[in-house]
Amino acid sequence: MVKLVVATKNKGKIAEIKKVLQEMPFEVLSMGDIGIAADIVEDGKTFEENSLKKAVEICNICRSVVIADDSGIEVDYLDGAPGIYSARFGGADATDQDRNAKLLHMLENVPYEKRTARFVCAIAVAFPDGRSFVVKDTCEGFVDFKCKGENGFGYDSLFYVAEYRKTMAELSMDIKNKISHRAKALEKMAVVIKDYL
């Protein structure tokens, strides 16, 4: 079993990552599991830069294989915002509810067909010997007119997946873990990591 430390304090992300990787020979640990409380400043200009910075810095502390993701929502009507600022959208102390409310306010009176958006996830893997790689994937959808569903976090309750006629937060974990940006990026990561182990 390869120990994989996930460089996040977000319990929702850790649960998703554990579920997607459960069939693979990885022991998935959180930063809390190994006693690391570091806060990494995300000052990159892309999802890839932010995820790689987190993975490398946590790897340097724990000397284990580390995976880090940076993810967010890009709304076409807002020229790709909030993008890499998705987690900080609405201010440092904003809750998921606050961020969703701000997004809804910015899209007030915007018709459905102009509310196209995508979830983006970049996943970086850093190894104690200095090697690293990054993969990225997306999930296309729309920003709904109100929050719906309880199965998720972040913008899941606003992100409408037309194929299922539901928001991401209304989908079962099994479906979400097949179609989500994070699930697809994790699958890519699991294929590439075999060449590094």
Catalytic positions, written as ranges: 70
Binding-site sequence positions for substrate: 8-13, 71, 153-156, 176, 181-182
149, 166 contact by CB (below 8 A): yes
DSSP secondary structure code for residue 149 in this structure: -
Residues tagged in the binding site annotation: 8-13, 70-71, 153-156, 176, 181-182
Q: Distance between CA atoms of 94 and 100, rounded to whole angstroms? A: 10
Kindly provide the b/e burial profile for residues 142-171, where b requires at least 16 CB atoms within 10 angstroms of the residue's own CB.
bbbeebebebbebbbbbbbbeeeebbbbbb
For residue 71, which of 155, 144, 127, 1 has the smallest C-alpha distance?
Answer: 155
Element counts in the chain: helices (H) and strands (E): 5, 7
Q: Which residues participate in the annotated binding site for Mg(2+)?
A: 70
Q: 126: which strand partners?
A: 66, 132
